[in-house]
């Protein structure tokens, strides 16, 4: 569900669904299962891998209840061959083994070579459920039997599931112990009340108010304990009555409860065939975890803790979230947060500020498609082009189970941006964990991993931003819609943020949940319109379907290059200039453009600045996108109005579109130039991006030609609310932020080719020209809107 995939392929493509794993039926035959389990545990060849512990004996018997007597003999014949996929007996079939039991012949064992294990592990990482063709090909390549490959994968899946369940059970036990301790302390306080004034024993009648508060707190703890017990019961397959000994009646299960069962972590159905080492551990020749096992084990524990915190923050209202009087936004109650959660990535660094926000919205996309978009770094960046400068997946801990993203854990790096040169790019290294909580209910959580790397001794750099458990909970709704609850929780260093943007960031608007949800809604609406067979009202029907895709792809590249130039991300290699004749709040950078067919070759100069204007973002956006008023600020219009000759809608709002403009007062020097413009607006802000383009090149694009060879350098504007107050009447006295009401933060940015030779040197005159262009444009906008003061 990415723009790239849609625009590259007109026929569209499937989003991919969950792979259905065939269930193998088992009947309840206790006698055969018990004999099979006894044979497995008594086998001398399995002493290292299958020595059952006291805790596992009961589970081994229960496991036997699911096996049919008809497969008992098959388990004996595959016993030595499939044990953990590492050791097996050479050339001994099931019938031969029965005969061999009566002959005193020494058994010869075959152990997989390191190269074979490496090949098997590599394929398992990509595809935990290979089909018959893949198994046959792999068995030929590794000189193994097909059955050996098959049972190696079965046992490997079982081992991974067991490891994950052990970690999650450990976390649940700790949480349960903590809740029981709190409950006992409150009970003790109620049995021995103390007067707060004199310190002596209190009279029962004097404690009515205090007792009421204690009863409320006790009821909350009971609810928490019941939730934990219900979760642990799903792991063990039996009720944990011993943990909840007559404390409180069970609560009804929530749709977003952190339970697993058939939809839990791992995603494996309980009817999958289990390998022989399920009951007693793993073979001594196969490592329990992949390389860097200690660190990956810590990642798993962090993922589970972060998922628990995200779901709780998405579900809980007051007193955790309090409605703000200004604007009605939800504000996090930090005292309540500290009481409910233990910091999973350590305490906040000195000097850091905290921003937290939550937003709920309905989006035109189903949960599976959205989860696939979030778990694919390229799709994620395309869905949020104005917020993500660059992202990549650095490692995959788990790719999910059962052919789905359920249980997928991956390490990622991202550069998050706010379109202004006055706000530094936020670089974060984080873990992303996806989990299905119920049918049609998914959650994706992010959490920084810098603290874990410091603990494990891995090299780290100074961290300017930490991502506490953040992400979204997605629930399917009818007609292909989804309800998305987004939570953003970040700690960051404010010292490098300009004072104009500090209120915006501290309020949670700049990088907050509202901006993520608003962008997601706008992008999904655009995709729905593009995939529709009907042409929206106002679109030029002369443009073919392939021409529309080519124009949109060109506009997408133009907007991406504009954002990269504003924020100086690592998408391009920029060199910052410190020229003395440049205004203080103007950032000038330069780079060389070589061998890039989408840009003119030479030296590219980028200049950007941000200013505050005492007017609403909507009014400023309407002024800048109106082609009839363009001559009031754009030197390319030659003093006359512009004419729209092509229009492609990207949303129901008329301001969300891609258009092609032509100057009405065109002279001979500009007879072959047009202006490609993209405008978009949502609750998080608005954007106006444009670039001059050649008429012959645009004719090729409008006929469905390749847009990758159209050279352009974008310029434009970014508009966001200032974050100081809700929109309303404006007052302007020029004496600080406290008197600003409903203002806008406007970012102006230009990219200009100053020399067509990449080896040429940049001149002072070129820098002064770009600086004057920015200053002149800002002054013209202020004069046109009568806000020069």
**Global pTM value:** 0.62
Strand order in the sheet with 685-694: 575-577, 586-593, 602-613, 744-755, 715-721, 685-694, 673-682, 657-663, 642-649
Q: From 508, 528, 548, give the residue that closes a domain.
A: 528
Q: Which is nearest to 120 in space by CA: 164, 90, 156?
A: 156
What's residue 537's pLDDT?
56
**Residue 394 and residue 323 share a domain:** yes
What's residue 672's pLDDT?
64
- Domain contains 439: yes
Contacts of 222 (CB under 8 A, 6+ apart): 183, 247, 248
What's residue 237's pLDDT?
57
Token pair belonging to 174: 């700790």
Band (pLDDT 50/70/90 cuts) for residue 193 is: low
Q: What is the residue range of 686's domain? A: 537-725+742-785
Q: What mean pLDDT is reported for the chain?
A: 74
Beta-bridged to residue 661, according to DSSP, are 644, 675
User: pLDDT: is 635 or 384 the higher one?
Assistant: 384
- Domain contains 343: yes
Q: From 511, 528, 545, give the residue that closes a domain.
A: 528
User: pLDDT: is 510 or 739 the higher one?
Assistant: 510
- Domain contains 258: no
**Residue 545 and residue 492 share a domain:** no
Could you report the per-residue pLDDT of 162-189, keeping only the tens digit for each? 998 998 899 999 989 989 888 888 887 7
CB atoms within 10 A of CB 131: 9
**Residue 474 and residue 597 share a domain:** no
Q: Give the integer Cα–Cα distance in Å for 523 and 527.
A: 6
Q: Please, are residues 536 and 686 in contact by the beta-carbon 8 Å criterion?
A: no
How many domains, the chain? 2
User: pLDDT: is 787 or 85 the higher one?
Assistant: 787
**Residue 463 and residue 550 share a domain:** no
Q: Are strands 352-363 and 330-332 parallel, antiparallel or unpaired?
A: unpaired
- Domain contains 171: no
Q: For residue 631, is pLDDT > 80?
A: yes
User: pLDDT: is 200 or 111 the higher one?
Assistant: 111
**Residue 760 and residue 612 share a domain:** yes
**Residue 442 and residue 309 share a domain:** yes
Q: Please, are residues 313 and 469 in contact by the beta-carbon 8 Å criterion?
A: yes
- Domain contains 588: yes
**Residue 613 and residue 506 share a domain:** no
Three-class secondary structure assignment of 596-658: CCCCCCEEEEEEEEEEEECCCHHHHHHHHHCHHHHHHCCHHHCCCCEEEEEEEECCCCCCCEE
What's residue 363's pLDDT?
94
- Domain contains 243: no
User: pLDDT: is 209 or 488 the higher one?
Assistant: 488
**Residue 372 and residue 343 share a domain:** yes
**Residue 563 and residue 618 share a domain:** yes
Q: From 474, 503, 528, give the residue that closes a domain.
A: 528
**Residue 767 and residue 692 share a domain:** yes
**Residue 755 and residue 613 share a domain:** yes
What's residue 20's pLDDT?
32
Q: Please, are residues 614 and 644 in contact by the beta-carbon 8 Å criterion?
A: no
Which CATH number covers residue 779?
3.30.530.20
Owner of token pair 């997928």? 408
User: pLDDT: is 324 or 689 the higher one?
Assistant: 689
Q: How far is CA 98 from CA 73, 76, 95, 611, in A?
A: 10, 9, 5, 86
Band (pLDDT 50/70/90 cuts) for residue 109 is: low
Could you report the per-residue pLDDT of 353-383, keeping only the tens digit for each? 999 999 999 999 999 999 999 999 999 999 9
**Residue 570 and residue 518 share a domain:** no
- Domain contains 281: no
Could you report the per-residue pLDDT of 542-579, keeping only the tens digit for each? 678 888 889 999 999 999 889 988 887 777 777 777 76
User: pLDDT: is 683 or 54 the higher one?
Assistant: 683
Q: Give the integer Cα–Cα distance in Å for 510 and 722.
A: 9
Could you report the per-residue pLDDT of 58-91, keeping only the tens digit for each? 443 333 333 343 334 444 444 444 444 444 444 3
- Domain contains 32: no
Share of the chain above pLDDT 90, in %: 28
Band (pLDDT 50/70/90 cuts) for residue 208 is: low
């Amino acid at each position: 569900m990415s723009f790239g995939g849609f625009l590259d392929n007109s026929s569209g493509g499937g989003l991919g669904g969950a792979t259905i794993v065939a269930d193998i039926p088992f009947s309840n035959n206790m006698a055969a299962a018990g004999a099979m389990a006894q044979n497995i545990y008594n086998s001398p060849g399995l002493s290292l891998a299958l020595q059952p512990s006291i805790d596992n004996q009961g589970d081994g018997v229960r496991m036997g209840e699911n096996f049919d007597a008809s497969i008992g003999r098959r388990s004996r014949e595959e016993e030595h061959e499939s044990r953990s996929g590492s050791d097996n007996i050479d050339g001994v079939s099931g019938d031969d083994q029965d005969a061999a039991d009566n002959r005193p012949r020494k058994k010869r064992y075959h152990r997989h070579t390191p190269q074979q294990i490496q090949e098997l592990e590599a394929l398992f990482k990509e595809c935990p459920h290979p089909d018959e063709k893949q198994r046959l090909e792999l068995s030929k390549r590794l000189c193994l039997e097909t059955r050996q490959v098959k049972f190696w994968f079965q046992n490997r899946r079982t081992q991974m599931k067991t490891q994950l369940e052990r970690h999650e059970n450990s976390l649940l036990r700790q949480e349960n112990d903590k809740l029981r301790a709190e409950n006992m302390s409150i009970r003790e306080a109620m049995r021995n009340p103390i007067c707060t004034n004199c310190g002596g024993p209190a009279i029962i009648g004097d404690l009515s108010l205090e007792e009421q508060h204690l009863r409320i707190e006790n009821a909350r703890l009971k609810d928490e304990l019941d939730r934990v017990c219900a979760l642990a019961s799903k792991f063990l397959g039996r009720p944990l009555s011993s943990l909840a000994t007559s404390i409180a009646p069970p609560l009804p299960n929530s749709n977003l409860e952190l339970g697993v069962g058939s939809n839990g972590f791992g995603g494996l159905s309980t009817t999958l065939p289990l390998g022989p080492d399920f009951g007693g551990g793993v073979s001594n020749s196969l490592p329990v975890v992949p390389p860097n096992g200690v660190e990956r084990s810590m990642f798993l524990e962090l993922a589970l803790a972060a998922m628990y915190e995200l779901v709780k923050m998405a579900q809980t209202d007051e007193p955790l979230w309090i409605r703000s009087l200004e604007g009605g936004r939800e504000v996090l109650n930090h005292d309540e947060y500290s009481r409910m959660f233990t910091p999973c990535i350590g305490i906040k660094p000195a000097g850091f500020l905290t921003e937290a926000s939550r937003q709920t919205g309905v989006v035109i996309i189903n949960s599976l498609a959205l989860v696939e978009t979030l778990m694919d770094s390229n799709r994620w960046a395309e869905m949020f082009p104005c917020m993500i400068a660059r992202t990549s997946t650095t490692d995959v801990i788990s790719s999910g189970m059962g052919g789905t993203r359920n249980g997928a854990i991956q390490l990622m790096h991202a550069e998050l941006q706010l379109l202004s040169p006055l706000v530094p790019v936020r670089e974060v290294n984080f873990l992303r964990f996806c989990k299905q909580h119920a049918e049609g209910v998914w959650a994706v959580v992010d959490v920084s991993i810098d603290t874990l790397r410091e603990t494990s001794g891995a090299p780290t750099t100074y961290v300017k931003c930490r991502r506490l458990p953040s992400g979204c909970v997605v629930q399917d709704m009818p007609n292909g819609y989804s309800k998305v609850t987004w939570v953003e929780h970040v700690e960051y260093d404010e010292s490098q943020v300009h004072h104009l943007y500090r209120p915006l960031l501290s309020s949670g608007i700049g990088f907050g949940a509202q901006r993520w949800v608003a962008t997601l809604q706008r992008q999904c609406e655009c995709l729905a319109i593009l995939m529709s067979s009907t042409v929206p009202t106002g679109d030029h029907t002369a443009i073919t379907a392939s021409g529309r895709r080519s124009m949109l792809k060109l506009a997408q590249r133009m907007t991406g290059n504009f954002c990269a130039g504003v924020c100086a991300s690592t998408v391009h290699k920029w060199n910052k200039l410190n020229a003395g004749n440049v205004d203080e709040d103007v950032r000038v950078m330069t780079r060389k453009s070589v061998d890039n067919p989408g840009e003119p070759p030479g030296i590219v100069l980028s200049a950007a600045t941000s200013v505050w204007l005492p007017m609403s973002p909507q009014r400023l956006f309407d002024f800048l996108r109106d082609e009839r008023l363009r001559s009031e600020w754009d030197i390319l219009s030659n003093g006359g109005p512009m004419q729209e000759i092509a229009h492609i809608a990207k949303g129901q709002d008329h301001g969300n579109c891609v258009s092609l403009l032509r100057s009405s007062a065109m002279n001979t020097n500009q007879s072959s130039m047009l202006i490609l413009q993209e405008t978009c607006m949502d609750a998080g802000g608005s954007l106006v991006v444009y670039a001059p383009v050649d008429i012959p090149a645009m004719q090729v694009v409008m006929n469905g030609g390749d847009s990758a060879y159209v050279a352009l350098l974008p310029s434009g504007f970014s508009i966001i609310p200032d974050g100081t107050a809700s929109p309303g009447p404006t007052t302007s006295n020029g004496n600080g932020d406290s008197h600003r009401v409903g203002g806008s933060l406007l970012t102006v940015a230009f990219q200009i080719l100053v020399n067509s030779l990449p080896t040429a040197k940049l001149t002072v005159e070129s820098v002064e020209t770009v600086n004057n262009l920015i200053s002149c444009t800002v002054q013209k906008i202020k004069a046109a809107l009568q806000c020069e003061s």
